[in-house]
Structure 1
């Protein structure tokens, strides 16, 4: 019968357990081959030590989380998805943050820190409110997911958010307003900023989910609306559709600036009216 290792024929023993190999040398080689093959399979199935013990710092963790949220929204951010992006076990993330809430607070602080105050120092109340509103507007355009986590009655208590809020109240505190009136002014201005930014965020979210840009969507709608617009019943809208195919960033900033100035004009009347 042939040897199971080398294939050479050998004479089988007449008694006892049937032999598979012609000699001890072939038996040893077969054993080593099985051992090495099992080791290779085990190594392939088990993450390498370098992957399991990959070292990363908190900054890398937070920046990666921001990248995911910027590209896909907060709904796509989970500890498991973050671990997969970083190619590390999910449990290793908790060496840097104790929970997802702590991660989100760190993301907010990092986003705010990337856009420092353009005019640090003391300022007249209106200039300071304008500065804070512009900063908040820019942050929402850069990171639309901030709207999801800050536009709530229970936002993460991130130090940068608390500092921005405190600056507004500090600016209002010298105007003779009581605490309730100060809070109302703060909510009015912040609500305006978030409302304007939410339209931009919604547009980007729709484009991401459908794969259709704002310009392309309006192009298809214009075809459906041609009959209505050509009817003469909506002359202003017909003129607008012909002159402006879609809004640009410059348009958005101009509309935001117009509304903010009118809003603060109203606050000034409220504060200084006799």
Structure 2
């Protein structure tokens, strides 16, 4: 048990804490990003996220919008946020308990919210938390966004706008649809909170997402599908990518609660599974377990995407024949 009794994220936290306490990482220095942690220590993204969350909880680091997670200055005073019910300054009245930075803008608010969501999940995003990251009064944010739903829509809009589709689709309908679908998948990968926040039945007006809809509609319609069928195909592809991507945020939350990444959790379940398979009732599953199976969400997405496109190919052939 010895080594495995200590969760992987705890070992990384200990190492980074040591670097901070010895001065190897000085105040203001940027910590490795979650992606850099996954590469350096060979852990899952959820594990890397929990590392930074724990260091932030200890007050050793803080998130800086547009920069990343940096080492906190020792002894830096933490201002208490003004209660949401406290009145704001009237004309010539008393200023807020926490001064509002003169540079507070909608862009900075949205960037801070995205930074928090990327690092800790959407549940960590609140008006008070975002205000704290910006050293601003919570009520001051309402001068720029109507409420949390408005903030979420703007976060989604900003995340998509960071990586727009190319000006013109590649030749061939399949290559064009693959490009849009894979770019959407990468968006979900970069921002695990995005997929569960995105509603299919009550879609938010995310203007940066409209080019995706227009792209797929135009491509499929130009190859023979009527607009109604083309839009249905678009929703099918969108919800397929979203359906796999919701596991990213769910896995991050599960690891935060259990302290185990997916591989460690699977290892703990294996004895019970093997005991069931030993009954001989499930020969195909037994052979699969013996051979070993590694769940890779990227591979799963790609496998399903190709099968969906195969189905669209048949539909396009039928449309052409008609």
Q: What TM-score do the two structures reach when normalised by structure 2?
A: 0.63
User: Is 1:101 matched with 2:152?
Assistant: no
2:126 to 74, 78, 82: 78
Task: Quote the Cα distance in structure 2 between the aligned partners of 1:46 and 1:122.
Answer: 48
| Higher gyration radius (CA) | 1
User: Is 1:194 matched with 2:239?
Assistant: no
Instruction: Determine the structure 2 residue equivalent to 1:213.
Output: 261
Contact in 2 for aligned 1:215/1:246 (Cα 8 Å): no
Instruction: Determine the structure 1 residue equivalent to 2:101.
Output: 54
Contact in 1 for aligned 2:100/2:135 (Cα 8 Å): no
Structure 2 vs 1, CA of residues 63 and 265 (structure 1 numbering), >3 Å: closer, same or farther? same
Instruction: Determine the structure 2 residue equivalent to 1:138.
Output: 186
Displacement of 1:243 in angstroms is 4.4
* Count of aligned residue pairs for this structure pair: 227
Contact in 2 for aligned 1:104/1:156 (Cα 8 Å): no
Contact in 1 for aligned 2:225/2:316 (Cα 8 Å): yes
Displacement of 1:230 in angstroms is 3.1
Instruction: Report SS of the residue matched to 1:61.
Output: helix
2:112 to 64, 68, 77: 64
Contact in 2 for aligned 1:74/1:145 (Cα 8 Å): yes
Displacement of 1:154 in angstroms is 2.0
Highest relative contact order (Cα 8 Å, sep 6+), 1 or 2?
Answer: 2
Instruction: Determine the structure 1 residue equivalent to 2:216.
Output: 168
1:230 to 275, 278, 285: 278
Displacement of 1:66 in angstroms is 1.0
Instruction: Determine the structure 1 residue equivalent to 2:305.
Output: 260
The alignment yields a C-alpha RMSD, in angstroms, of 2.7
Displacement of 1:184 in angstroms is 1.6
Task: Name whichever of 187-196 and 199-208 sits farther off.
Answer: 199-208
Structure 2 vs 1, CA of residues 204 and 80 (structure 1 numbering), >3 Å: closer, same or farther? same
Task: Quote the Cα distance in structure 1 between the aligned partners of 2:143 and 2:214.
Answer: 31
Instruction: Report SS of the residue matched to 1:212.
Output: coil
Task: Quote the Cα distance in structure 1 between the aligned partners of 2:280 and 2:238.
Answer: 39
Q: Which structure has the highest helix share of the two?
A: 1
Displacement of 1:106 in angstroms is 2.0
Displacement of 1:135 in angstroms is 1.1
Displacement of 1:198 in angstroms is 2.4
Task: Quote the Cα distance in structure 1 between the aligned partners of 2:220 and 2:81.
Answer: 60
Contact in 2 for aligned 1:218/1:245 (Cα 8 Å): no
Task: Quote the Cα distance in structure 1 between the aligned partners of 2:267 and 2:162.
Answer: 36
Contact in 2 for aligned 1:151/1:194 (Cα 8 Å): no
Instruction: Determine the structure 1 residue equivalent to 2:315.
Output: 270
Instruction: Report SS of the residue matched to 1:52.
Output: coil
2:162 to 114, 139, 143: 114
Instruction: Report SS of the residue matched to 1:225.
Output: helix
Contact in 2 for aligned 1:126/1:264 (Cα 8 Å): yes
Displacement of 1:270 in angstroms is 0.9
